[in-house]
């Protein structure tokens, strides 16, 4: 049984093919390649905004991509309960488009960071984490210059109270502390969902940790969680 995924390519996307490979080849799903100028989601049941540097990250990461024609369809799709998942630049775009709260600022060291990090699974109450044991730790790579999640204190508190924080940067043992925070994100936040729990965003790249040939399959748990729930 298959689910139809749509992966959107924006000018400057560079992780779209990685995402397509994992969904199609590793997970065995149907994938539709969507272009940012499209006005039709082509019957896709799950939309993915992949990583990269859309429009060269001019103004702010994701600030221009939010106005791409296809985003009108994505916003309508999400408002009607459709599943949308943004990774890295995709997360930034979803925040800029208002589908997820908060914003992604420059890393606190003002440097681009590319390395493996550890993520503590904070909540199993979401489509992308439902099959992952709460409290378990995943090793997933990051590659970003603007991954420092920020919002007003009252908005952060609302996220926490509503169980919308899905992943936090942690140590290998699951300890959440400043030393494990690679970019200065408030409360070590690495991934969240919206209040309706159908829009998801995370800075780390699970598609880069889903193939045995790469020596790390921790990210595959996220894709397996999506499929086990939707195709059950």
Residue 65: band (very low, low, confident or very high) from pLDDT cuts 50, 70, 90: confident
Average pLDDT, the chain: 94
Of 15, 44, 88, 95, the active-site residue reads 88
User: What is the tally of structural domains in the chain?
Assistant: 1
Q: Return the percent helix, strand and coil in the chain, to nearest 5.
A: 30, 25, 45
17 contacts: CB under 8 Å, gap ≥ 6: none
pLDDT of res. 61: 62
Quick check: is 207 catalytic? yes
Quick check: is 32 catalytic? no
What Rg value do the Cα atoms of the chain yield, rounded?
16
> What is d(CA 165, CA 157) in angstroms, rounded to the nearest whole number?
10
Question: Can you read off the two tokens belonging to residue 98?
Answer: 């208002």
Quick check: is 205 catalytic? yes
φ and ψ of 207, to 5 deg: -70, -15
Residue labelled with tokens 């942690």? 170
Read off the CATH number of the domain in which 109 is found: 3.40.50.880
Asked if 111 and 147 touch (Cβ cutoff 8 Å), the reply is no
Global pTM reads 0.95
| pLDDT tens digit sequence for 108-162 | 999 999 999 999 999 999 999 999 999 999 999 999 999 999 999 999 999 999 9
pLDDT of 34 above 80 = yes
Of 15, 144, 193, 205, the active-site residue reads 205
**Stretch 41-70: mean pLDDT:** 79
| pLDDT tens digit sequence for 172-214 | 999 999 999 999 999 999 999 999 999 999 999 999 999 999 9
pLDDT of res. 24: 97
pLDDT of res. 221: 97
Percent pLDDT > 90 in the chain is 87
Concatenate the DSSP letters of all residues of 126-139 into one string. Answer: STTTTTS-TT-EEE
Domain of 50 in residue numbering reads as 4-230
């Amino acid at each position: 049984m298959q689910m139809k995924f749509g992966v959107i390519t924006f000018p400057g996307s560079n992780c779209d093919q990685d995402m397509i490979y994992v969904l199609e080849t590793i997970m065995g799903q149907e994938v539709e390649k969507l272009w940012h100028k499209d006005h039709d989601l082509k019957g896709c049941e799950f939309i993915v905004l992949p990583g990269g540097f859309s429009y060269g990250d001019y103004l702010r990461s994701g600030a221009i991509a939010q106005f791409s024609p296809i985003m009108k369809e994505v916003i309508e799709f999400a408002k009607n309960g459709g599943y949308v998942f943004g990774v890295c630049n995709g997360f930034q775009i979803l925040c800029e488009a208002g589908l997820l709260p908060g914003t992604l600022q420059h890393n606190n060291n003002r440097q681009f960071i590319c390395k493996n990090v550890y993520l503590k699974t904070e909540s199993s109450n979401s489509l992308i984490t439902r099959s992952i044991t709460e409290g378990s730790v995943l090793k997933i790579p990051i590659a970003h210059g603007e991954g420092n999640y920020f919002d007003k204190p009252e908005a952060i508190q609302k996220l926490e109270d509503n169980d919308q924080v899905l992943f936090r940067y942690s140590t290998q043992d699951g300890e959440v502390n400043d030393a494990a925070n690679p970019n200065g994100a408030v409360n070590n936040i690495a991934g969240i969902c919206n209040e309706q729990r159908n829009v998801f965003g995370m800075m780390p790249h699970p598609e880069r940790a889903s193939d045995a040939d790469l020596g790390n399959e921790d990210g595959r748990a996220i894709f397996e969680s999506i499929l086990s729930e939707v195709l059950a």
